[in-house]
Amino acid sequence: MNGSRAEWRALAAAVVQQAQGVAADFVVCPPAAGLADVATVVQGAQVALGTQDVCAHGNGAHTGEVSTTMLKEFGCTYAIVGHSERRTDLAETDGLVAAKARAALAEGIVPIICIGETEDQKTKGLTTKVLDGQLRGSLKDVRPARAVDIVIAYEPVWAIGTGKVPTAADITEACAHIRSLLIELLPDTGKSVRILYGGSVKPENAAEILTLANVDGALIGGASLKAESFVGIARAVVAKAA
């Protein structure tokens, strides 16, 4: 939850300009208050529009919420669901995350389902157990017709905004576990569902992280507040692959 209307428009415009010609998919997810402004900036560009959350219910008596129908009208094609901050600050459960994912899918919006362990859980060796429970719960009755219809974001809570980054081995192990679970839970699509990594990603470490097995992209937090670093992450990966 950052920025102002002027800042959102300026950031989106800078991302659109710098993303031109970069062989990557870009999605910007402003606060709900900024959707209308940012939508006008990214329309027709190589940058898709997403939202930071979505209501699990359709239009109706749900004061303060934003429905998938409304989001679709703004031009949203992606929706973050289950971000660790909402799981922690607002006590969102796996069941609610699954309901939000189903609501997004029903409206043709791609849910970006976030999962990840806390530092305490990691220290106790519970990472795979936590990921297993969160993914199973967050995918309950979620049935994407195609692999591209959903995205899973692995965001170790202890790495978000802290500057701490898991080792390559830790990320590889976690994402391999997520992949095996996806194949089990979604036999028709799980092998190809995109997995993102999120947690202190920046241009300096992006190439190493985003070329690891089963890491298909990044969910970028702090680095996304500056267009140069946001697009720079993609540029770093493309350059290494060249």
Q: Which residues are catalytic?
A: 83, 155
**In sequence order, what are the residues at sequence separation of 6 or more whose Cβ sits closer than 8 angstroms to the Cβ of residue 27?**
47, 48, 49, 50, 77, 78
How many other C-beta atoms can be found within 10 angstroms of the C-beta atom of residue 47? 23
Q: How far is CA 112 from the centre of its chain?
A: 4
Q: What would the two tokens of residue 20 be?
A: 């031109």
Q: The tokens of 58 are what?
A: 């359709």
In whole angstroms, how far apart are CA 210 and each of 202, 216, 239? 11, 7, 12
